[in-house]
Amino acid sequence: MIEYQHTLKSSVSVQGTGLHTGQYGTITFVPAPPNHGIKFKRIDLPGHPIVEALVENVVDTSRGTTLHKNGATIYTMEHALAALTGLGIDNVLIELDVEEIPILDGSSRQFVDAFEQVGYIAQDTEREYLIIDKEIRFVDKEKGSEMIITPCDAYKIDVKIDYGTEVLNIQFAELHNITDFKKEISPCRTFVFLHELEFLLKNNLVKGGDLSNAIVFVNRKVSQEELDRLAELFHKPKVKVKDEGILNNLDLHFDNEPARHKLLDVMGDLTLIGKPLKGHITAIRPGHYANTELAKLIKQQIKNQ
């Protein structure tokens, strides 16, 4: 059966604050013609430079995936890209008036809601899949990451995370049918350990964080004085540690929500290959660096064929 490329029926915008820059902006997703792919357009810069959503344009993966080209930078685009891939939307122009895609609730859910609000339609051009015909593997011994993709007639992802801490045990997540993305993966929010949050705060690196867009795991004893300081920083009346070892800023959607969010990130980063995939990804302790390195290896293999 022939599968056709898809785009949005009409433009749709979301507004919000970037997690790291603190910039409040508007992001508009605009329908695009067949074979356009996914591209960003910085409408706040002279000449409105275009940055293609391609792994060749990745310049940093330290706190999210960052793209740069033509003097324009795009921060933290992985959650939006995961939503597009999860819904099978191939062609879209993303106009933004700031550097960073809004963090919203830390998941892909609000992007999915926006796309479904306007709908998406099939185009008159066949979808071209990138089909994996042999195993490709990336290993980062320093970070304990391993990324493997093997031949498969569908798009499947299995994720395992293990951070060696009791508060966040070994977790697994899977997506074996892309139609499950909306319900099972898109609502899953980013997470952070308290010591990482404190480092980011001290270095002024989470200007857009407000404790409503991340699960915070507490992996050490914390005094009430520290909790009060966190409450003040994030404008909360009170912060405490729940029995599950997370702050009381939110409730988990799933017991394995962190692993599911890592799967979401894998999807977003692998969208940077530029074509939909057919292959089975196994990701062990994935991160943006490992995800994008696997994407580069996949593209290199295709070039060499």
Structural domain contains residue 58: yes
Structural domain contains residue 22: yes
Cα separation of 261 and 189, whole Å? Answer: 6
Cα separation of 259 and 123, whole Å? Answer: 34
**For position 98, what pLDDT does the model report?**
97
- Is 288 designated active site? yes
Q: What is the DSSP letter of 104?
A: T
Structural domain contains residue 163: no
User: Which residue in the list 6, 20, 79, 288 is annotated as catalytic?
Assistant: 288
Structural domain contains residue 245: no
What is the domain count for the chain? 1
The domain that contains 56 carries what CATH number? 3.30.230.20
Cα separation of 200 and 202, whole Å? Answer: 6
Condensed to tens digits (0 to 9), the pLDDT of residues 182-209 reads 999 999 999 888 777 766 666 665 655 5
- Our CA angle for 22, 26, 32, nearest 5°, is 135
Structural domain contains residue 149: no
pTM of the predicted protein model: 0.92
Structural domain contains residue 43: yes
- Our CA angle for 102, 49, 277, nearest 5°, is 65
Query: 150: part of which helix (H) or strand (E)?
Result: strand 145-150
Cα separation of 59 and 55, whole Å? Answer: 9
With a cut of 70, list the residues of the chain below it in pLDDT: 198-212, 233-235, 243-244, 248-249, 304-305
**Domain limits at 53?**
4-128
Structural domain contains residue 216: no
**For position 221, what pLDDT does the model report?**
74
Condensed to tens digits (0 to 9), the pLDDT of residues 110-152 reads 999 999 999 999 999 999 999 999 999 999 999 999 999 999 9
**For position 240, what pLDDT does the model report?**
78
3-state secondary structure labels for all residues of 179-235: HHHHHHHCCCCCEEEHHHHHHHHHCCCCCCCCCCCCEEECCCCCCHHHHHHHHHHCC
Structural domain contains residue 27: yes
**For position 118, what pLDDT does the model report?**
98
**For position 211, what pLDDT does the model report?**
61
